[in-house]
Structure 1
Amino acid sequence: MLPSLLLFSLLLSNFRPACAATAEQWRTRSIYQVITDRFALEPGAVVNECVISNSTWCGGTWNSIRENLNYIQDAGFTAIWISPINQNYEGPRTAYGDPYHGYWPADVSQLNEHFGTADDLKALSAELHLSLTQEKKELIEQVDIVVNNVMATSLTPDYSSYMFKSAEYYHPYCVIDWTNLTSEQQCWLGDTTVPLPDLNSENSDVVSQYSSWISDLVQTYSIDGLRIDAAKHIRASFWPAFAQSAGVFCMGEVFDPSVPNVAEFQGPGALDSVLNYPAYYALVSAFALPGPQNISALTDTISQSKTALGNFLENQDVPRWHNLSVDPQSMYNAMSFSFLSDGIPIVYYGQEQGFSGNADPYNREPLWPSNYTNTSSYQLMTTLNQLRNFLVNTTDWATQSMDVITSNDHGLAFQKGNIVTILTNIGAPPQNFTNTAFQSPWAHGTVTIDVIACRQFVVASGGYLEVEYTKGGVPVVLAESSFLQGSGLCGATLAALHDSSTGDVVAQSSASRHTPLVWLAVPLFLMSVSLGSW
């Protein structure tokens, strides 16, 4: 039996209006992405080996997500993205395994029984929207959906098992020409082993039934937003009416490194938002070690894109960052960009645990073997969330545009609102350098705090700030000390400044609740460096 408080909130959830969070409100959120089957096991469940290469069920459920929300909320996330909830292929195991991931839909009008019941999903939604304490607010829920296709085991499937039960509702089979957008939108994804029959979104019956289905799904399960798989593979003009029927924020997957190609699917004539694949490719190019260390790729992407895109370093379709980069500092810098630049930060479960799987299925590891450890990466994303939540709750920071202050081959500094973020790609080893500086937006004598290391920097004559790399290339996030009052960040440092009768800057901050990030408690950045050998 459900506890009385949860049962009461569950009853209330059935009357929650759709559109609980607008697109502008989603801009203020940070998202933690989970694959339901791989995030957690229910209490008392037998811990299984979960061999990743077997590509089969490992036992995660909607109830096990609900039982482990503290791990997400303690890190400061304000939204959760859950893998597809609808019925998937049921049948003999394929050459590519079983549909534990949820991306092989069958009848989407039904739920996936592997993850629980309708009541289980409603209970999860109710728990997400329950404000537990003053420090631990509600999470809003983004559910992954697959609209473009169904899954089959032959090129002549039995369509009666799907929601759309006749071949007339599907495009005829053809092989995709990846240089032709029309072909991408009308031919079949997958291959001849596991083909993915393509729905005909030009068919008026398909449009009508999908509109009814998504409206009912959102309202029945109190969903706040949708992540739409393979959005690029349906014509952009299909999406406005679909999104209007959903009545909630819609973020599409447009798997493309080109800003113009991605931008076609975001805006009044398409979707509220899209995943920021151009920035993902640019971040890999700029920060992954070894790699081209191409900072200009990132600054070019920034100059072309000024919309509310979903920023990420990992997801279920790309290799883990640690698979691409041997240097942990590279992820800390790239992660800081995701949180503090324009857009909505998204963290894929396990990124904070240093998972290192390559492509599918190896990037879909179970999280429980990590024991949900409070790693340095977990602590960093907690600090970034705490800062970002403070900014969006007290200022209009979320709607302000970032501006690049300066950049070169080894890093960049950018400003968004009251925050200056300084990133580098030089990696963890100490570097030799010629001591120079960059011009800040602050006046001479302003005391700033690096909120990651809780270290103070005073602005020099002419507005210059000098930050150095004596112990490797860690990210720096600066704010005026007075601005951080009430944030809960670097409390001891701020108190020392406030209590100082001489006005002198304290050389080394006192301990704060973030000092477990010992790898960050060092002097930091330099915009123009002369690098020595590794």
Structure 2
Amino acid sequence: MKPRNILSAIIQLVSVLECVSPVLALGKDEWRRQSIYSIITDRFAASNPAPCNPEDRAYCGGNWRGIIEHLDYIQGLGFTAIWISPIVKNIEGVTKYGEAYHGYWPQDFFELNPHFGTEDDLRELVSELHKRGMYIMVDTVVNHMGSLDPKSIDFASYRPFNNEGYFHPMCPIDQDDPLSIEQCWIGTEHMTLPDIDTESPEVIEILHNFISDLVKKYEFDGLRIDATKHVRRTFWPGFCEAAGVYCQGELWTGDPAQFCEWQDYMDGLHNFPVQGVAAQAVVPINDRGLRKTAYAMDRVGKLCKDSTVLGLFLESQDAPRMAALNKDVNVLKNAMLFNLMGDGIPIVFYGQEQMFDGSHDPFNRPAMWDKGYNTDGVLYQFTSKVNSIRTALINAPGGEEFIRSKSKIMMVGDHVMLMYKGDVITLVTNYGSKDKEYIIKMPSSETMVDLLSCQMIEQSDSIMKTSVKRGEPKLLYPYVLAMRDGFCLDELVVQDAIDDVMFPGNEIRGPDLN
């Protein structure tokens, strides 16, 4: 028999929380316009940094105040939002898999993780982001609690679910049984995560109150939801409605059909079907990676309710770093361009811009301060430039159409892919910095500009011809719109002046503008 008196205690606790100003709810339409930098709080920045060995799987000292001190670094990359790892108190102690520095083994939903700072620190982080016109998404775990010993679980130590009756009975997950995936316990013989009974009306009410108050108290703008598929899908609409902000769930599957079904229950999802093949497209021996990526994009675009509000990513704490798969800087630039200009809300994992090269956990989760915050690096500067272009395109006339458009694949081969989105053509390659040249011809009635190099693209008799050398990516935009929107203005004015000398009487070499 589950205890019933705890609900009144929780309600009483909630009622005495300090009053805060109402949060401005940020929905999917606003998040579609953002570009997200994903952070493991313990590993991104520390107010008092010390050397960190990721192999120890221990707390390294990263905190919210450290993030505050490095917001210039993030904003300099052009990101408009951050996603931070879970904030609530986790179990203490060392397990077979280390300490809970990542935040996914909760113990107390109503207390912050003291390793990351105080309530004031978290409030200041949110406030500083909002002052900059930036937003914050917080990672959320409601499927389970943490446990040090799978053979002796201290349910009384949990808050608010301090009784075994609040949990599903322990059972191993059978991946072929949907009910088992939802109700059995994530874990191994060395560690298990007690699964919360989210079918219980009492539990549902507690969780709805919890997330509503958390979002309002700290003025969060969005939620990232861990282990989405391990909770029955009909739970999520009410939970996200209670939060009042956009939710983006972790639904780990490469099957577009299975994946897209979940968008009936949650607006946003991490785009695993595209990530799984796009990340592999940078592997040198994988000459069909771009073709598979194009196919996955097409399937997701057709089957999902709205692929433009999915999270597009290549790296995460559970995946290899791109530089672990290929260290060629031009391949990594192409990967970043795809990450930022493809369909959906771009998500870049901390250190991707520094070419971190850990191939797996724990080596793909190093302390940023041990690697350095180099703002002069090639990929940092490239990321900043592409993000700035994306933001400008969104804010330009027709920007809403651009951000809501699904990419059309104009051409795809073993090493080249062209995506058409709105008025923008994104050209990515994966053959790398080789002394090799591709000549690409396509129908075009407009003179185009490469926004990355500010070079005009040759156009004659309604045929555009561009040369791809040494695997450099391109971002093509109509010349007329580039002049209208202020892209490459200084460079194009210089080119026009040269044209006036070489081609007298022609103000603009290109299409008739009359």
1:252 equivalent to 2:254? Answer: no
Residue deviations 1:107-161 (CA, integer Å, cap 9, x gap)? 1121111111111111111111003xxxxxx110000011111111233411111
Aligned residue number for residue 78 of structure 1: 80
TM-aligned CA deviation for residue 368 of structure 1: 1.2
Residue deviations 1:30-64 (CA, integer Å, cap 9, x gap)? 0001111111121xx2x421011011111111111
User: In structure 2, the residue corresponding to 1:254 is in which secondary structure?
Assistant: coil
Aligned residue number for residue 68 of structure 1: 70
- Aligned in 2, Cα 1:345/1:198: closer, same or farther, shift over 3 Å? same
TM-aligned CA deviation for residue 498 of structure 1: 4.6
**Residues 61-460 of structure 1 mapped to structure 2, 5 A cutoff:** 61-90=63-92, 92-131=93-132, 138-155=133-150, 156-162=152-158, 163-267=160-264, 270-306=265-301, 307=307, 308-374=309-375, 375-394=377-396, 395-396=399-400, 397-431=402-436, 435=439, 437-440=440-443, 442-443=444-445, 446-460=446-460
CA distance in structure 1 between the aligned counterparts of 2:383 and 2:179, rounded to whole angstroms: 40
Residue deviations 1:469-523 (CA, integer Å, cap 9, x gap)? 44x2121111122322475643431221454562869xxxxxxxxxxxxxxxxxx
Asked if structure 2 preserves the Cα contact closer than 8 Å seen for 1:226 and 1:248, the reply is yes
- Aligned in 2, Cα 1:176/1:485: closer, same or farther, shift over 3 Å? same
> 5+ residue gaps in structure 1?
1-12, 132-137, 506-534
CA distance in structure 2 between the aligned counterparts of 1:16 and 1:71, rounded to whole angstroms: 29
Could you list the runs of 4 or more consecutive aligned residues of structure 1 that deviate by over 6 angstroms after TM superposition?
none
Once structures 1 and 2 are overlaid, which stretch shifts more, 238-247 or 385-394? 385-394
Aligned residue number for residue 17 of structure 1: 23
Amino acid corresponding to residue 243 of structure 1 in structure 2: C
CA distance in structure 1 between the aligned counterparts of 2:37 and 2:54, rounded to whole angstroms: 21
- Aligned in 2, Cα 1:119/1:486: closer, same or farther, shift over 3 Å? farther
- Pick from 38, 50, 56: which aligns with 2:43? 38
Aligned residue number for residue 508 of structure 2: none
User: In structure 2, the residue corresponding to 1:468 is in which secondary structure?
Assistant: strand
RMSD: 1.9
Asked if structure 1 preserves the Cα contact closer than 8 Å seen for 2:52 and 2:370, the reply is no
Higher helix share: 2
Amino acid corresponding to residue 226 of structure 1 in structure 2: L
Asked if structure 2 preserves the Cα contact closer than 8 Å seen for 1:497 and 1:503, the reply is no
User: In structure 1, the residue corresponding to 2:91 is in which secondary structure?
Assistant: coil
Amino acid corresponding to residue 352 of structure 2 in structure 1: Q
CA distance in structure 2 between the aligned counterparts of 1:487 and 1:113, rounded to whole angstroms: 47
TM-aligned CA deviation for residue 290 of structure 1: 3.4
Amino acid corresponding to residue 131 of structure 2 in structure 1: L
TM-score scaled by length of structure 2 = 0.88
Asked if structure 2 preserves the Cα contact closer than 8 Å seen for 1:350 and 1:367, the reply is yes
TM-aligned CA deviation for residue 427 of structure 1: 1.7
Once structures 1 and 2 are overlaid, which stretch shifts more, 246-255 or 308-317? 308-317
Once structures 1 and 2 are overlaid, which stretch shifts more, 215-224 or 315-324? 315-324
Amino acid corresponding to residue 455 of structure 1 in structure 2: Q
Once structures 1 and 2 are overlaid, which stretch shifts more, 323-332 or 342-351? 323-332
CA distance in structure 2 between the aligned counterparts of 1:489 and 1:40, rounded to whole angstroms: 34
CA distance in structure 1 between the aligned counterparts of 2:175 and 2:22, rounded to whole angstroms: 42
Amino acid corresponding to residue 266 of structure 2 in structure 1: L
Aligned residue number for residue 512 of structure 2: none
TM-aligned CA deviation for residue 75 of structure 1: 1.3
Amino acid corresponding to residue 452 of structure 2 in structure 1: I
Residue deviations 1:433-487 (CA, integer Å, cap 9, x gap)? 6x5x3324x31xx33221112222122223x2222344x2121111122322475
* Identity of matched residues, %: 36
User: In structure 1, the residue corresponding to 2:449 is in which secondary structure?
Assistant: strand
- Aligned in 2, Cα 1:422/1:331: closer, same or farther, shift over 3 Å? same
Asked if structure 1 preserves the Cα contact closer than 8 Å seen for 2:419 and 2:427, the reply is yes
User: In structure 1, the residue corresponding to 2:388 is in which secondary structure?
Assistant: helix
User: In structure 2, the residue corresponding to 1:459 is in which secondary structure?
Assistant: strand
Asked if structure 2 preserves the Cα contact closer than 8 Å seen for 1:250 and 1:271, the reply is yes
User: In structure 2, the residue corresponding to 1:107 is in which secondary structure?
Assistant: strand
CA distance in structure 1 between the aligned counterparts of 2:89 and 2:33, rounded to whole angstroms: 32
User: In structure 1, the residue corresponding to 2:65 is in which secondary structure?
Assistant: helix
- Aligned in 2, Cα 1:501/1:296: closer, same or farther, shift over 3 Å? closer
Residue deviations 1:91-121 (CA, integer Å, cap 9, x gap)? x322221111111111112111111111111
CA distance in structure 2 between the aligned counterparts of 1:494 and 1:202, rounded to whole angstroms: 62
Asked if structure 2 preserves the Cα contact closer than 8 Å seen for 1:289 and 1:327, the reply is no
Asked if structure 1 preserves the Cα contact closer than 8 Å seen for 2:313 and 2:339, the reply is yes
Number of residue pairs matched by the alignment: 473
Asked if structure 2 preserves the Cα contact closer than 8 Å seen for 1:33 and 1:348, the reply is yes
Aligned residue number for residue 494 of structure 2: 496
Asked if structure 2 preserves the Cα contact closer than 8 Å seen for 1:387 and 1:487, the reply is no
- Aligned in 2, Cα 1:365/1:489: closer, same or farther, shift over 3 Å? farther
CA distance in structure 1 between the aligned counterparts of 2:456 and 2:501, rounded to whole angstroms: 13
User: In structure 1, the residue corresponding to 2:61 is in which secondary structure?
Assistant: coil
- Pick from 469, 475, 478: which aligns with 2:476? 478
CA distance in structure 2 between the aligned counterparts of 1:166 and 1:112, rounded to whole angstroms: 22
> 5+ residue gaps in structure 2?
1-18, 302-306, 504-514
Asked if structure 1 preserves the Cα contact closer than 8 Å seen for 2:94 and 2:148, the reply is no
Asked if structure 1 preserves the Cα contact closer than 8 Å seen for 2:287 and 2:415, the reply is no
CA distance in structure 1 between the aligned counterparts of 2:499 and 2:413, rounded to whole angstroms: 40
CA distance in structure 1 between the aligned counterparts of 2:162 and 2:103, rounded to whole angstroms: 20
CA distance in structure 2 between the aligned counterparts of 1:311 and 1:466, rounded to whole angstroms: 30
Asked if structure 1 preserves the Cα contact closer than 8 Å seen for 2:458 and 2:466, the reply is no
Higher strand share: 2
Amino acid corresponding to residue 62 of structure 1 in structure 2: W
